[in-house]
A = this chain, B = another copy of it.
C-alpha cells in the first residue's frame, strides 16, 4: 500500500493498546483498556461488520432501534404471506449469543454524532412508561456508521400520508393486511362497480427492483390465492406500475428489463412508463406525462412507494458538521473512513466510497516502481507493483476488462505504440498516457446488500 497519500490503518490492524498511566504502583498491572468500538445500525452493513470483528479485542457497543437483522430481499414475499415475517428476521442478541460475541446492544436511535468529543447521542427506542426520555451518550474510540438510508418521497405531497413503503418488516406486514383489507372493502354490499375497480387497483410507484419484485409477488398472490377466496370481485383487480423512466429495472442490463416488461404484459400488469407522480390523495394519484406534460388522475385502492432512497436526518446533520453538506450520502475514502474526522468509518447505504484517481498519484507510482531510478519502467518493474496498484485502484482492472486487454502490457502498449511486449520500456510521459483513461472506470458503487457485505469483510 505504498501509494497511499493519506494512508490510514484499517480498523483491526496494528492498534497500539492503551494503558492507564495513572495506575497505583502496588496494584497488579490491570489489563490494558480495550478500545471502544461503537456500531450504529443492525442492517446488512452493521451485522456484516460485526460478524467479522474479533469482539474479544474491543469493547463493542451496538446501537439500533431494531433489535433484529432483517433479510430484506425477502420482504416482497412477506407482503403476500409466501414467507412468514419471523423467517426473515434474526434477533441481534441471538446472533451475538450464537457466535459467542461479547457485544453490548442498546435498542435506541442515534440522533447526533459528535466527532469532536468522539461521542454519539442516543435515545431509547422504547420510551413508553419510562421515567425521563431515555437519552444517553456513548463515547467511542472507533465509530462505525451503518445507519442505512430512508425512504425518499422527493417531497411529493401526500406520499408519506397515503403510500406504503417496503423498507422494514413492519412495512411488509402492513402491506399484507392492507391488500386483504382492499378485498374485504370491495366485498361489502352497496359498492358500485366503479368503486370496486378503484379499491382493487394496486399501484406501484417506482419500477426498480423493489417495486418489480413486489408487483410479481402481488400478482401471484392475487391469481393463486385471493381470486379463489373472492371469486365475485376477481374481475375488478388491476396492478399498475408507474415509472418515470422509459423502462422498468433501468439500472440493470436491458435484456432483464425487456424480459420483465414482456412477462408483466402477459400477466396483465399495466406499465405506465414515462409518467411522474406529482401528488397522492387518499383515493387518487396525480401523474404527469413527461413528454406531453398532461396531468391525469389515477384512482387507486392501495399504493406502494418504491421510488428511491434518501438520507437519514442524523447523517445529514453529521455531513453538515464535517463539511460534506451538499452530498446525499456520507463520502468515505477507499478505506471506508470519513476523511474529515478521526476514527469514523461509514458503510452501507448511508455512505459512498470516493475512489482515489490513479492520475493523482501517477508520479509517485512511477517513482516507487522505478527501483533502479533509471527514469524508465520495464515490464518487470511494472509487474512487481501491479498487485498493489490493482488493490488500491480497482478501476485499472475494470478498464482493462472493458477494453478486452489480457494483461498490463496491452494497457501500456496503447501508450508506447506497437512494441514488443518483453522488451517494452516506458518513461513517465508514456506511462501517464497509457493510464490516462483508466479513471473513467471509477463508478459509484450501487447501494445494494451484496456490495455492502463485500466491502465490510475488508474493514473487519
Query: Which residues of A are at the interface with B, using a C-beta cutoff of 8 A?
Result: 67, 84, 86, 91, 93-94, 97, 105-108, 124-131, 134, 136, 138, 162, 180-181, 184-185, 187-190, 195, 199, 228-230, 282-283, 301
A106 near B189: Cβ-Cβ < 8 Å: yes
B126 near A189: Cβ-Cβ < 8 Å: no
B189 near A129: Cβ-Cβ < 8 Å: no
Which of B97, B106, B131 makes the CB contact (< 8 A) with A229? Answer: B97
Cα of A106 to Cα of B283 in the assembled complex, Å: 22
A124 near B230: Cβ-Cβ < 8 Å: no
Q: With a 10 A CB-CB cut-off, give which of A97, A128, A162, A199 has the most chain B CB atoms.
A: A128
CB contacts (< 8 Å) of A93 on chain B: these are: 229-230
CB distance from A26 to the nearest CB of B (A): 32
Which of B136, B228, B282, B283 makes the CB contact (< 8 A) with A189? Answer: B136
Which of B86, B91, B107, B228 makes the CB contact (< 8 A) with A188? Answer: B107
Nearest B residue to A231 by beta-carbon distance? Answer: B97
Question: What is the copy number of this chain in the assembly?
Answer: 2
Nearest B residue to A192 by beta-carbon distance? Answer: B131
B229 near A181: Cβ-Cβ < 8 Å: no
7 more A-B residue pairs beyond the given contacts A107-B181, A128-B181, A130-B185, with a C-beta to C-beta distance below 8 A? A107-B185, A107-B187, A124-B185, A128-B282, A129-B301, A136-B188, A138-B189
CB contacts (< 8 Å) of A106 on chain B: these are: 184, 187-189
CB distance from A396 to the nearest CB of B (A): 47
Which of B84, B124, B228, B283 makes the CB contact (< 8 A) with A129? Answer: B283
Nearest B residue to A87 by beta-carbon distance? Answer: B84
CB contacts (< 8 Å) of A84 on chain B: these are: 84, 86
CB contacts (< 8 Å) of A301 on chain B: these are: 129
Nearest B residue to A127 by beta-carbon distance? Answer: B185
A91 near B190: Cβ-Cβ < 8 Å: no
CB distance from A253 to the nearest CB of B (A): 38
CB distance from A307 to the nearest CB of B (A): 20
Nearest B residue to A181 by beta-carbon distance? Answer: B126
Nearest B residue to A124 by beta-carbon distance? Answer: B188
B229 near A188: Cβ-Cβ < 8 Å: no
CB contacts (< 8 Å) of A136 on chain B: these are: 188-190
CB contacts (< 8 Å) of A188 on chain B: these are: 106-108, 124, 134, 136
B185 near A67: Cβ-Cβ < 8 Å: no
CB contacts (< 8 Å) of A125 on chain B: these are: 184
